[in-house]
Amino acid sequence: MLCLPVVLGLLILVGCGAKDPVRDLSRDLDRYPEYSLTVDDTRIEGSLFPDYALRFQVLTASGRRETGRDTILYEERKTDWYPVSEDIFYRYENYVGMVIASKSMDGQRTGANQAHPSGYQYVGNSHYGSWGGGGFWQFYGQYAMMSHLMGGHRVGRGDYDDYRRTRGRGSPYYGPVKGGRPTFGARGTVTEKTRPQFYQRKQNRRKAFSGQAKNRMGRATSGWGRGSSRTGK
């Protein structure tokens, strides 16, 4: 009888202490003239009382004067793992490989409601590249890192127009859909290629959950059948 209030108290404390690391990181990164924050990986450990964690990829840009010229220096890094609540974990899990917070040089900001694949924010800007043969965007050599962020995906004009329309509506953009699957995000084809360990873990969790659900349904059906038999006697 004494255990229940203790357990409830612990749950309340955990719930109240849950923080969103995206908000904290965004506030810290706001000192840069430009940044993007991408969900790099997710982790679930344990089964009865699972622990949830998120890791992020940070891209920052700052001005620097080199050899008498003003240049923009881009730096990329990964954060440590952030323990999070279940609610916050599932808030961002679908955005693996996607930007969920950013600020551009002109001061425009985006949040998770406008999540988009890393690098898309530079497409269409003549400072970073141009439209080449076949109607695909090509980054200049010094910005080849932007192409790397996309996992080798080539952005066509139609793809870019869809991105702009979706962003204008304030909705996440997962890239072109082929064969019923998006290009980016937790289910994306590029994500499967660039983050194979994450993708395999997610598939394993999905299979395990499906198996547990079938077992529960089987037990429920079996129990219902026995009950019906007794009622009919």
Q: Which two tokens stand for residue 27?
A: 């506030």
What is the per-residue pLDDT across 93-108, written as a single tens digit (0 to 9) for each? 999 999 999 999 888 9
Confidence (pLDDT) at 214 = 56
Query: Which DSSP symbol is given to 184?
Result: S
Mean pLDDT of all residues belonging to the chain:
84
What is the per-residue pLDDT across 170-229, written as a single tens digit (0 to 9) for each? 999 999 999 999 999 999 999 999 999 898 888 887 776 565 555 555 555 545 444 444
Angle, CA of 168, 172 and 176, to the nearest 5°: 95
- Reported confidence tier of residue 69, pLDDT bands at 50, 70, 90: low
Global confidence as pTM: 0.79
- CA dist 128 → 70, 132, 175 (Å): 16, 13, 20
Q: Which two tokens stand for residue 189?
A: 């084809």
- Find the helix or strand (DSSP H, E) in which 127 lies: none
Q: Give CA–CA dist 118/183, Å, rounded.
A: 12
Cβ neighbours around 144 below 10 Å, total: 10
Kindly state the percentage of the chain with pLDDT values over 70: 78
